[in-house]
């Protein structure tokens, strides 16, 4: 198996990392020590997953070799092999997660495009879809910033997502998403098309080489929005940082402390700038800010609720005729199709070199 499931390399890497981790001097740098501990934990988890799967396969194969095996055992073996087949397929997809930042946590952003209130509402629907997917997938997430729309939906939202290979899976969502439906805001019940852009940025901690000059940023503070009641924030703690040379804007309002929000915003900005720098170095075909043209013809995926029911990814051609199920967070098949296509292209590129 290739990708991050090159098991022989993982076992050797684990020995090296554990030897380094056992060096008492390591804790002179607690931040690096914690990163190393996390890396060791992830490798152990991968090796355990591989070994358990291999053990289950061997056990079932041994049972099949038994003479005069009873039908009851055959049913159990059949059921077990179906489960193993699914696990192998998932493991196969995970072998494709070998990008530089695939194993990082990430920030997911949603911004409405052409369509006014319709697109703000569509952005809110996408937010629900992603949070349901993240919950079902076992990922933790935190709302870093959320701006409500004037009439409905949201103007923008940013989530911080924690979990194994969070960026590796969610990078498939970068791009413009298009919705076609009968508008709930149109008294004449006409069909409307709405657009929203999704951006995903890996959390990059190695940003010591990224220097942000004071004259290159504008910092605005304002009152955080809240749900009212005792939990409402009545201080000007929300922070918006605009990086003037690149035009990148980062807003954070989830903490009550203005200092803490500014610290988080600067960390996110550094991750974005680092990603841009590395994308240029590696000649990546996509940019950090995604596609600024959020309208017809620029989408990666169509969600059609009227006059028929269909969700189709325009990159992979994978489609589902159950859009409501997709909007309830059933995204994994689309993510899998994207990763397999990316893996196939990388493999083809390697053959052509």
pLDDT at 256: 82
> Averaging pLDDT over each range in 78-87, 271-280, 327-336, which range is the top one?
327-336
pLDDT at 350: 39
Cα 38 to chain centroid distance, Å, stands at 19
| 221, 321: one domain | yes
The 3-state DSSP class for residue 304 equals strand
CA distances 112 to 123, 147, 170, 231, 246, Å, are 6, 11, 18, 27, 21
CA distances 262 to 132, 191, 256, 343, Å, are 29, 42, 11, 38
Torsion of CA 335, 337, 338, 339, to 10 degrees: 90
pLDDT at 208: 67
Residue 101 forms part of a structural domain? no
Number of H helices, E strands in the chain: 8, 11
Structure tokens at 171: 């990078």
Residue 264 forms part of a structural domain? yes
Structure tokens at 328: 């309830």
pLDDT at 285: 38
| 110, 90: one domain | no
What's the CATH code of the domain at 52? 1.20.58.410
**What average pLDDT is seen over the chain?**
84
Residue 353 forms part of a structural domain? no
Give me the mean pLDDT over the 169-177 stretch.
95
Residues 138 and 133: their CA atoms lie apart, in Å, by 9
| 44, 125: one domain | no
| 88, 134: one domain | no
pLDDT at 131: 98
With a cut of 60, say whether residue 230 has pLDDT above it. no
16 Cβ partners below 8 Å, 6+ apart? none
Tens-digit pLDDT profile for residues 190-224: 888 999 999 999 998 777 678 899 999 999 998 77
| 113, 202: one domain | yes
Q: Provide the phi-psi class of 161: left if phi over 0, else alpha when psi is between -120 and 50, else beta.
A: beta
Binning pLDDT at 50, 70 and 90, where does residue 81 land?
Answer: confident
Residues 343 and 339: their CA atoms lie apart, in Å, by 6
Give me the mean pLDDT over the 142-147 stretch.
93
Residue 99 forms part of a structural domain? no
Residue 8 forms part of a structural domain? yes
| 222, 341: one domain | yes
With a cut of 50, say whether residue 286 has pLDDT above it. no
Query: Residue 193 forms beta bridges with which residues?
Result: 180
The 3-state DSSP class for residue 40 equals helix
Give me the mean pLDDT over the 246-254 stretch.
91
Q: Which comes out higher in pLDDT, residue 70 or 123? A: 123
Helix (H) or strand (E) holding 348: helix 332-352
| 151, 196: one domain | yes
| 73, 121: one domain | no
| 142, 215: one domain | yes
pLDDT at 226: 52
pLDDT at 2: 47
| 49, 87: one domain | yes
What total of structural domains would you count in the chain?
A: 2
Residues in the chain: 353
Query: Residue 160 forms beta bridges with which residues?
Result: 107, 142
pLDDT at 82: 80
Residue 118 forms part of a structural domain? yes
Which percentage of the chain shows pLDDT scores above 70?
85
Structure tokens at 79: 């059921």
Range of the domain at 298: 106-347
Tens-digit pLDDT profile for residues 156-170: 999 999 998 999 999
Which percentage of the chain shows pLDDT scores above 90?
48
Tens-digit pLDDT profile for residues 333-346: 999 999 999 876 66
Helix (H) or strand (E) holding 63: helix 30-64
Residue 352 forms part of a structural domain? no
200 and 108 Cβ atoms separated by less than 8 Å: yes
Binning pLDDT at 50, 70 and 90, where does residue 83 land?
Answer: confident
DSSP per-residue codes, 167-236: HHHHGGG-EEEEEEEE-TT-TT--EEEEEEEEEEEE-----TT----GGGEEEEEEPPP--SGGG---SS
Give me the mean pLDDT over the 268-280 stretch.
86
CA distances 156 to 72, 113, 163, 344, 346, Å, are 55, 10, 23, 34, 33
């Amino acid at each position: 198996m290739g990708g991050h499931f090159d098991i022989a390399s993982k076992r050797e890497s684990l020995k090296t990392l554990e030897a380094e981790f056992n060096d008492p001097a390591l804790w002179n740098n607690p931040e690096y020590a914690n990163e190393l501990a996390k890396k060791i934990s992830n490798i152990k988890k991968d090796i355990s997953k591989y070994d358990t799967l291999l053990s289950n396969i061997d056990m079932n194969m041994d049972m099949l070799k038994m003479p005069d095996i009873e039908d009851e055992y055959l049913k159990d073996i059949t059921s077990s092999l179906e489960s193993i087949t699914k696990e192998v397929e998932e493991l196969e997809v995970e072998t494709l997660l070998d990008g530089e930042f695939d194993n990082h946590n990430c920030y997911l952003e949603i911004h409405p495009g052409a369509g006014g209130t319709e697109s703000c509402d569509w952005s809110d629907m996408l937010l629900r879809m992603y949070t349901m997917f993240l919950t079902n997938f076992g990922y933790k997430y935190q709302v870093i910033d959320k701006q409500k729309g004037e009439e409905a939906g949201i103007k923008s939202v940013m989530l911080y997502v924690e979990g194994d290979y969070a960026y590796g899976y969610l990078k498939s969502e970068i791009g413009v998403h298009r919705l076609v439906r009968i508008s709930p805001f149109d008294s004449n019940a006409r069909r409307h098309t709405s657009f929203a852009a999704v951006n995903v940025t890996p959390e990059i901690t190695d940003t010591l080489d990224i220097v942000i000059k004071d004259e290159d940023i504008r910092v605005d503070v304002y009152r955080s929005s809240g749900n009212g009641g005792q939990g409402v924030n009545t201080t000007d703690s929300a922070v918006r940082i605009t990086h003037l040379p690149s035009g990148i804007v980062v807003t954070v309002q989830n903490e009550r402390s203005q200092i803490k929000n500014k610290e988080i915003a600067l960390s996110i900005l550094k991750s974005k700038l680092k990603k841009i720098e590395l994308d240029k170095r590696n000649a990546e075909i996509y940019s950090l800010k995604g596609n600024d043209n959020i309208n017809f013809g620029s989408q990666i995926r169509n969600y059609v609720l009227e006059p028929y029911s269909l969700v189709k990814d325009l990159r992979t051609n994978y489609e589902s005729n159950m859009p409501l199920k997709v909007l309830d967070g059933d995204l994994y098949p689309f993510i899998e199709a994207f990763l397999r296509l990316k893996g196939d292209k990388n493999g083809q590129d390697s053959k052509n070199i």
